[in-house]
Chain A
Amino acid sequence: MKSVIEYFRGIFNGIKSLLVGMTVTGGYFFRPGTTLTQQYPDNRDTLVMFERFKGEVVMPHNEKNEHKCTGCGICEINCPNGSIEVIPATEVTEEGKKKRIIDKHIYHLGMCTFCGLCVKTCPSQALAFSQEFEHAVFDRTKLTKVLNQPGSKLMKGVE
Chain B
Amino acid sequence: MEFSIYDFSSFTAWIDQSLRAAMSPGMAVAIEMLIIGVAILIFYAIVGLFLVYAERKVCALMQNRMGPNRVGPGGIFQTIADLVKLLFVELVPIKNADKILFSLAPYIVIIASFMAMGALPFAKGLHAIDLNIGVFYLMAVSSMGVVGVLLAGWASNNKYSLIGAMRIGAQIVSYEISVGMSLVTIVVLAGTMQLSEIVQAQQYGWFIFRGHIPALIAFVIFIVASTAETNRGPFDLAEAESELTAGFHTEYSGIRFAFFFLAEYINMFIVAAIATTVFFGGWMPFNVYGWEGFNKVMNFIPPFIWFLGKTGALIFLIMWFKWTFPRLRIDQLLTLEWKYFLPINIINVLIMALIVLLGWHW
Contact = CB atoms under 8 A, between A and B. Distances in A.
- A contacts B: CB pair < 8 Å: yes
A28 B325 contact: no
A21 interface: yes
Given A11-B340, A29-B58, A21 B324 contact: yes
Contact of A25 (B62, B69, B340): B62
Nearest to B63: A28
A8 to B, nearest CB: 10
Interface in B45-97: 58, 60-66, 69
A29 B62 contact: yes
Contacts, number: 38
B64 A36 contact: yes
Contacts of B325: 18, 21
Interface string B309-326: 000000000001101110
Contacts of A34: 64
Interface in A15-43: 18, 21-22, 24-26, 28-29, 34-37, 39
Interface size class of A (residues with CB under 8 A): 10 to 19
Contact of B65 (A11, A24, A35): A35
A37 B320 contact: no
A37 B65 contact: yes
Interface string A71-88: 000000000000000000
A26 B65 CA distance: 14
Nearest to B340: A11
A35 B67 CA distance: 10
Contacts of B60: 35
A35 B320 contact: no
A24 B324 contact: yes
B323 A25 contact: yes
Given A11-B340, A29-B58, A22 B65 contact: no
Contacts of B63: 25, 28
A146 to B, nearest CB: 38
Contacts of B321: 22
A39 B60 CA distance: 14
B320 A25 contact: yes
Interface string B295-333: 000000000000000000000000011011100000000
A36 B67 CA distance: 11
Contacts of A21: 324-325
A25 B58 CA distance: 10
A33 to B, nearest CB: 10
Contacts of A24: 324
A25 B324 contact: yes
Contacts of B58: 29
A26 B320 contact: yes
Nearest to A26: B320
Nearest to A38: B66
Contact of A37 (B62, B66, B340): B66
Nearest to A20: B324
Nearest to B66: A37
Contacts of A25: 62-63, 320, 323-324
A99 to B, nearest CB: 57
A26 B320 CA distance: 7
Contacts of B324: 18, 21-22, 24-26
Given A11-B340, A35-B66, A22 B320 contact: yes
Contacts of A28: 61-64
Indicate the member of B66, B323, B324 with the most A CB atoms within 10 Å.
Answer: B324
Interface of A: 11, 18, 21-22, 24-26, 28-29, 34-37, 39
18 contacts: A21-B324, A21-B325, A22-B324, A25-B62, A25-B324, A26-B324, A28-B61, A28-B62, A29-B58, A29-B320, A35-B60, A35-B64, A35-B66, A36-B64, A36-B65, A37-B64, A37-B65, A39-B66
8 A-B pairs closest in CB distance:
A25-B62, A37-B66, A25-B324, A29-B62, A29-B61, A36-B64, A21-B324, A22-B324
Given A22-B321, A29-B62, 14 more contacts: A18-B324, A24-B324, A25-B62, A25-B320, A25-B323, A25-B324, A26-B320, A28-B61, A34-B64, A35-B61, A36-B65, A37-B64, A37-B65, A39-B69
